Structure formats: C-alpha cells, structure tokens
Amino acid sequence: MASIDKRGKVWRARVRIRGFAPKTRSFDTKAEAEQWAARIERQLLAGEDTCPDLASEMTLSEALERYAKEVTPTKKGAEQELRRIRAWQKRPLASLKLSLLTAAHFSEFKKERENEGKSANTIRLDLMLISAVFKKARKAWGMPYLKNPIAGVELPGGSKWRDRRLDEAEAQRFHRALAQQSDEMFKLIVTFALETAARLSEILRLRRTDLHVRRRIAILRDTKNGENRGVPLSKCAVEVVERALSLHDGERVFPMTRVQLYRSWRKLCDSARIENFRFHDLRHEATSRLLERGLTVMEVQRITGHKTLAMLLRYTQMYDNHVVARLDETEDSGAPSGWAPLESHGEEYGTAHQRPIATGLVSNVVMFPSCRRRL
C-alpha cells in the first residue's frame, strides 16, 4: 500500500507491502511521487524485488561481524563459534554481497572442505552458521525477502557417535607422555576429566565456590543440558582439585584457556604417538571405566549427567570383553550361576576396586596414591 505526504517543500512517497522492506523516496512534485509509488507497488506485488537494498550492500563478512556482536555472545559455545566466524571471514566468499550468494557457492565450499579432509560434522557446522546468519538477517535486520542459500545445499549428515578408546599399548604411552608434560595444571585437568567424565567446558568453568570437598561433590553449572548438576568426586578427584587450588589464588579451579589446553593436548598426543584421540574422548573413556568398575547405569548417570539412559546405554557395547571376563571370574569362584555379585565399589565413588580397569595398565602419571589404579 502506498502513501503520499508533503514534508516541507518535497513530496514523500512510501510503499509498504507485507513481506518486503518499506520503500521510501522524495520528489519535487506530487505527480512524480504517485507515479513512482504505483510502479514500485506493481513490482513488489509481482515479486520483482529480487535485489533488496540492505542485502545488496552488506557483505557476508559484515553480516558475520554483526552476528558475532549481537548473537554469538548469548550462546554457550560463543568462543568456538567466534573462531568459526573468523575462519569464514578469511574466505573469498566473505567479500560477496548477501544478495549475490547462492546455493552453488556453498555447494562448492562443501566440496572444498571435503577435499581438505574435514569431517562431515565440521562442514555441517560451518554451513549451519551461515544459515543462522541469513535467518537473522531475514527476521531482525530488515531483509525479509532475502533467500537463504543454505536451503538449497545438501548438508552432510550429523556426527556419528565416537567410540574411540585407548588400547592397552596406547594407554601406557599416553601416561608416560603425560607424566613428562611440564604443565602441571594441564596434567591435573586431564586426570580430573578421567575421574569425573566432565566435559571440558564444565571443567574450565568450575569455581572454588562450586566445590564441597567434605561432601565430595562438585557443582557443574550451566552444563550442556542447560542445568546445574552435582557430581560425586572420587578420592583421586578430590586430591586433584585440592592440588589445583594450591597452585593459585584465583576463583577458577583450573585457570587455563581452551587455546592453551588444546596446544598442550596436541603436544601430548604427538609425544605419545596417538592419532585421532580428542580431549572429549576422555569423557567416553571415563564413562566406560565407571561401568567397568561395576557401577550401575543409574549410578554412572548420576556422575556423567547424561540426559537419558538411552544415551548412556551406548557405552554398554564398549565393554563386552569386560563382561565376559566377569562371567569367567564368577564361574571360577564357584558362585551360583546367574547371581554372582558385582564387586563392591564402596560407600563413595572412587574407592579402590579389586581389578585394574584394563589388564596390565598401571598409571605412573598422577602424583596421588588414589589415582594410581587409573588406566
């Protein structure tokens, strides 16, 4: 719908059609304003406004920068997303105007990333970021007519669940290499991750006020599930946090950045000659070991914070050999078939158990007696 009004010595024409940005222009005469408004109204109703004003001016890099300032800081994974944004801004596509970007551009990007050997999940996250930027531009930045080019791109499948665990030889090399690391805080973080199955973000956010050492509980706040949760601490985990706090006077228990940690992690894996092992795999490793130590699925869920039992039950496929060994032990002990009791894990999580988690693995890395049985 068009409106014409006089402002001082000029006539202003304004055209507003649902689904399009308002169009405004000033003229010397009323007749010129009416003619222009009628023409623009016909074009919009015919869907001919294919090159919107804002989208024809804003580049992808500029849109990403605005997104980084307005949206990214509100997310839990802000740090990771900001790194992804900076990587995008270095690419040639970032210099193009939003209105010129098509599905073909991003399909080609997808092929390039695949040729670079990037995982399906990494490529998917890259593309989903761009999709989120276009959606924000449509809904909040005055570009409701802007087409989202990602809608025409076949996204790679989501990440497959990883079941990467260290074998016996890798575990021995891992601990020898970890023992040789000079950064004690890094070693404490790795040990804490293995004891609690906590995520890296949860570990780095842990504060002094979140620890209840006498009760042997740590409160992990703002977790991936959006909830705070209390995590029972083993004796080894308690010794780890006490040692970490003795090294500094800050509020955070483990005052280390992700960049510092990932740098140390790469050095560790290189030194141990271990490939395709990520820090997050420590969560899988720790969860599997809790099950192998005889804790029930419900008890392990209490520690790991998995939202559903179905998610946790995936780990039961990872310790079939352990179950077979347990069956052999119960038969050899002469216990009645079918009800042989699991070994006791004590009143508190982390008390000593009768058998090492994996045969032949003895940790030399940790400086605490309670931790020596790990790995």
Catalytic residue among 113, 175, 187, 306: 306
Which residue is catalytic, options 124, 175, 187, 199? 199
Known active-site residue 280:
yes
Answer whether residue 329 shows pLDDT above 70.
Answer: no
Q: Establish whether 349 is a catalytic residue.
A: no
Q: What is the mean pLDDT of residues 147-171?
A: 80
Would the pLDDT of 191 be above 80? yes
- Whether CATH 1.10.260.40 fits 56-152: no
Which tens digits make up the pLDDT trace of 62-98?
Answer: 999 999 999 999 887 788 899 999 999 999 999 998 8
Could you tell me if residue 218 is left (phi over 0), alpha (psi between -120 and 50 degrees) or otherwise beta?
beta
CB atoms within 10 A of CB 201: 16
User: So what's the pLDDT on residue 331?
Assistant: 59
pTM for the structure as a whole: 0.56
Residue 354: what pLDDT?
34
What pLDDT is stored for residue 353 in this prediction? 36
Residue 306 annotated as catalytic: yes
Stretch among 1-15, 45-59, 256-270 having the lowest mean pLDDT: 45-59
Q: Which pLDDT belongs to residue 203? A: 92
Contact criterion met (CB below 8 Å) for 139 and 116: no
Give the model's pLDDT for residue 351: 37
Does the active-site annotation cover 199?
yes
Is 9's pLDDT higher than 80? no
From 84, 283, 293, 345, active-site residue:
283
CA distance 151 to 314: 33
Strand 10-15 relative to strand 23-27, pairing: antiparallel
Distance CA 293, CA 345 (A): 7
Q: What is the mean pLDDT of residues 208-221?
A: 88
Q: What are the tokens at 265?
A: 């992690």
More confident residue, 121 or 57: 121
Pick the CATH number of 168-371 from 1.10.10.10, 3.40.640.10, 1.10.443.10, 3.50.50.60: 1.10.443.10
- The residue annotated as part of the active site, out of 315, 345, 349, 374, is 315
Percentage of the residues of the chain whose pLDDT score is greater than 70:
77
- The catalytically annotated residue of 30, 224, 266, 314 is 224
pLDDT digits 0-9 by tens, 12-45: 888 887 767 778 877 778 888 888 888 888 877 7
**What's the whole-number average pLDDT of the chain?**
79
pLDDT of residue 7 exceeding 70: yes
Poorest-pLDDT segment among 144-158, 200-214, 255-269? 144-158
